[in-house]
Chain A
Amino acid sequence: GQQLNQSPQSMFIQEGEDVSMNCTSSSIFNTWLWYKQDPGEGPVLLIALYKAGELTSNGRLTAQFGITRKDSFLNISASIPSDVGIYFCAGLTYNNNDMRFGAGTRLTVKP
């Protein structure tokens, strides 16, 4: 099945810095989703992308659906302490009805 490679595995940044993380796959996806998960909670949807090349923002978050359909990135600008958590990318195809997740990027923000 399709595998998603998410990087980096973890990031330690200073409050106010910008953050960038990405997800790549050897397979094509028709939808890319970015989730944030806090400890002991389920993932919360941040951004959904449906078209190749699409660039979508949600407040300080910006995500793009790669032109090749095999990758996506998420940027967080001017990070704040509440951005701490694990960020997951997920890909979905039309033919398969399951959603594949990356292994996550653990973000730590130092005040």
Chain B
Amino acid sequence: DAGVTQSPTHLIKTRGQQVTLRCSPKSGHDTVSWYQQALGQGPQFIFQYYEEEERQRGNFPDRFSGHQFPNYSSELNVNALLLGDSALYLCASSYAYKQGWGEAFFGQGTRLTVV
């Protein structure tokens, strides 16, 4: 059973450019969340997608957008990159159920460096 997979693993972009990161959830999971993890800190919630819609959003600007496809995979897009966007971007998948969305399983992350 493949876990959560993210691509690419590493990426270097120039300030002002745009970037797209991809995530395939664990088999059987229908919910995808994205996190930004700066060096030495805990992950910060960006947003969550369920049924192809953004269900919840953290405190991130509109430059951060996403999409979920019918097969539950997801993309994170960041426009007008800033140096401060350099971080490890983590995707987490889970299965939505009534009481909450339960345990999340994380991918290995995409290390984005903005120069």
- A residues apposed to B, CB below 8 Å: 1, 4, 6, 30-31, 33, 35, 40-45, 48, 88, 92-94, 96-104
Contacts and interface: CB of A to CB of B under 8 A. Distances in A.
Nearest to B107: A42
B50 to A, nearest CB: 8
Given A48-B103, A93-B100, A94-B100, 16 more contacts: A30-B99, A42-B90, A42-B107, A44-B106, A45-B104, A45-B106, A48-B102, A88-B42, A88-B43, A97-B48, A97-B55, A97-B56, A98-B48, A98-B58, A101-B43, A101-B44
B42 A101 contact: yes
A68 B55 CA distance: 28
Interface residues of B, number: 28
B78 to A, nearest CB: 18
B69 interface: no
Nearest to B57: A98
A103 B102 contact: no
B33 interface: yes
A104 to B, nearest CB: 5
B103 A43 contact: no
Contacts of B109: 40-42
B4 interface: yes
Nearest to B4: A42
